[in-house]
């Protein structure tokens, strides 16, 4: 991505607390941080600069989401790339990775470039398409992995998300293929035979009481275990999407130790905000808002996920933002679509859960919501931190703001918001994409 056309544009961010630590001013010129310190906006050299008063605000590097569903092409009634970009900017994001399960599927270079171009046209966040692993998400024949990587979209992350790459031979070939260009396979870990075709919630005592088909945690854990062994065998990179169980955390902990020892392969993982806070108990009212894949888990799993994010076993927070039109969600629980919104609330949830319980500080939140996801996705101009010479991708946060979520205030086209009515701590005040404000005082610029 290039800097803004007007390379002489100047922005001064006054008095922000950098990563929650000491306060400083930032001078941004042409989309790049040029100076950090005490900067006098009255100086004639800076007289034409736009000044953003950030007193009392925390500055983080712009957030990066590894796992977003933007629904375009195919389901523009639920979300478009523009409205999803709007939701991302309001949530403090400067880059998102758009999942491939659209219609048509992002399984060709042409389709990847279409998503990429629509993202650039929206211009609010960097939209990077995720390529499908297999043609049509059918799990049989590899998609155009190399062509997508060589396209203008420069695809590096591939996933059949929504479906698991169940055939180990196909998964092995995909892992071998992406090695050539440093790509990574992001797996939706769900053994189809163990979970069952009709599974719609966590398998346990409550699913039995409710009469709902459940899928057990082991259906996730067995795929995580298989895939880390395949990554080790092929010397490649695997990323575990939306980890949801304590058992998966244990497999990851072992795998990361082995990968560090072996040195020729790697495994990374993400957790969603909703799996860090919401539990299976919410299903007792049969509210389809809480139907998500993988399902919400018991409190023991939630606690294990929080601990794993804090100690680095899980690398990143990813939203799995999954907008749905009302007519897809307002059904009996077993028939409703999977998924919930997440882009606009992710930072507040992570702040409330992780910082509020002294599990992460602001620097830690910057790692799991910016630097690590950018590294996993291979984004050179995102997640670089707040430093002289870095692109001015920034999120300014009011750290102590108490916000009660109103789903009707969302800029997303959909309303399947699990946080409606909940009070969370922390609010995005402003978002800057290469020095250009996309959000000011919590509203789109």
Q: Is 71 annotated as a binding residue?
A: yes
Closest by CA position to 410, among listed 328, 331, 343, 348: 343
Q: At what angle do helices 246-262 and 299-311 cross, to 10 degrees?
A: 20
Q: Which residues contact 154 (CB under 8 A, 6 or more apart)?
A: 128
Q: Is 381 annotated as a binding residue?
A: no
Q: Which 3-state string (H, E, C) describes 368-406?
A: HHHHHHHHHHCCCCCCCCCCCCCECCEEEEEEEEEEECC
The sheet that has 316-317: what strands, in order across it?
157-158, 184-187, 237-240, 266-271, 316-317
Q: Which residues contact 327 (CB under 8 A, 6 or more apart)?
A: none
H-run or E-run covering 275: helix 273-277
Q: Which residues contact 285 (CB under 8 A, 6 or more apart)?
A: none
Asked whether 239 and 296 are in contact (CB, 8 A), the reply is no
Task: Please identify which of the residues 107, 301, 315, 320 carries the catalytic annotation.
Answer: 320
H-run or E-run covering 230: helix 218-234
**Interatomic CA distance for residues 26 and 36, integer angstroms:** 5
Q: Is 6 annotated as a binding residue?
A: no
Asked whether 439 and 445 are in contact (CB, 8 A), the reply is yes
Q: Is 69 annotated as a binding residue?
A: yes
311 is catalytic: no
Asked whether 224 and 189 are in contact (CB, 8 A), the reply is yes
- For residue 265 the two structure tokens come to 């392969």
Q: Is 181 annotated as a binding residue?
A: no
SS3 content of the chain, % helix, strand, coil (to 5): 35, 25, 40
Strands 23-29 and 32-37 come out as antiparallel
Closest by CA position to 227, among listed 264, 261, 190: 190
Q: Is 420 annotated as a binding residue?
A: no
Report the chain's terminal Cα–Cα distance, integer Å. 20
Q: At what angle do helices 246-262 and 218-234 cross, to 10 degrees?
A: 10
Q: Is 67 annotated as a binding residue?
A: yes
Q: Is 331 annotated as a binding residue?
A: no
Q: Is 358 annotated as a binding residue?
A: no
**Distance of CA 163 to CAs 186, 192, 227, Å?**
11, 9, 15
- Which neighbouring-strand residues pair with 28? 11, 33
Q: Mark the binding-site residues for substrate, compressed into ranges.
A: 69-71, 101, 293, 324, 338-339
Active site residues: 320
Q: Mark the binding-site residues for Zn(2+), compressed into ranges.
A: 67, 69, 161, 188, 242, 320
Q: Mark the binding-site residues, compressed into ranges.
A: 67, 69-71, 101, 161, 188, 242, 293, 320, 324, 338-339
């Amino acid at each position: 991505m290039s800097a803004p056309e007007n390379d002489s544009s100047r922005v001064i961010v006054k008095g922000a607390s950098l990563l929650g630590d000491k306060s400083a001013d930032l001078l941004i010129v042409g989309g790049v941080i040029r100076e950090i310190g005490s900067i006098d906006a009255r100086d004639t050299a800076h007289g034409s600069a736009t000044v953003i008063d950030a007193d009392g605000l925390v500055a983080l590097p712009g957030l990066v989401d590894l796992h977003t569903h933007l629904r375009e092409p195919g389901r523009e009634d639920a979300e478009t790339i523009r409205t999803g970009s709007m939701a991302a900017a309001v949530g403090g994001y400067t880059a998102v990775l758009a999942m491939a399960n659209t219609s048509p599927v992002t399984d060709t270079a042409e389709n990847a470039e279409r998503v990429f171009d629509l993202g650039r046209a929206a211009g609010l966040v960097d939209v990077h398409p995720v390529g499908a692993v297999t043609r049509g998400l059918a799990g049989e024949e590899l998609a155009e992995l190399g062509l997508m990587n060589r396209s203008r979209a420069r695809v590096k992350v591939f996933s059949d998300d929504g479906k698991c790459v169940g055939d180990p031979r196909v998964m092995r070939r995909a892992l071998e293929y992406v090695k050539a260009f440093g790509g990574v396979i992001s797996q939706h870990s769900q053994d189809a035979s163990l979970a069952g075709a009709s599974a719609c919630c966590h398998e346990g005592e409550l699913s039995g009481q409710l009469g709902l088909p459940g899928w057990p945690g082991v259906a996730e854990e067995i795929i995580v275990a298989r895939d880390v062994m395949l990554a080790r065998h092929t010397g490649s990179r695997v990323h575990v999407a939306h980890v949801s169980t304590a058992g998966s955390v244990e497999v990851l902990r072992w795998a990361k130790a082995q990968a560090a020892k072996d040195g020729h392969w790697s495994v990374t993982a993400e957790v969603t905000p909703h799996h860090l806070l919401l539990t299976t108990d919410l299903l007792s009212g049969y509210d389809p808002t809480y139907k998500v894949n993988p399902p919400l888990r018991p409190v023991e799993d939630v606690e294990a996920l929080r601990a794993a994010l804090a100690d680095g076993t899980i690398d990143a927070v990813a939203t799995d933002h999954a907008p749905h039109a009302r007519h897809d969600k307002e059904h009996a629980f077993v028939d409703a679509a999977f998924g919930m919104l997440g882009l606009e609330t992710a930072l507040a949830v992570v702040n409330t859960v992780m910082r509020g319980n002294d599990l992460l500080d602001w620097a830690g939140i910057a790692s799991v919501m910016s630097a690590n996801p950018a590294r996993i996705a291979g984004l050179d101009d995102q997640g670089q931190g707040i430093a002289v010479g870095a692109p001015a991708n920034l999120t300014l946060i009011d750290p102590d703001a108490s916000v009660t979520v109103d789903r009707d205030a969302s800029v997303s086209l959909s309303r399947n918001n699990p946080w409606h009515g909940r009070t969370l701590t922390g609010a995005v005040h402003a978002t800057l994409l290469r020095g250009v404000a996309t959000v000011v005082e919590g509203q789109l610029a």
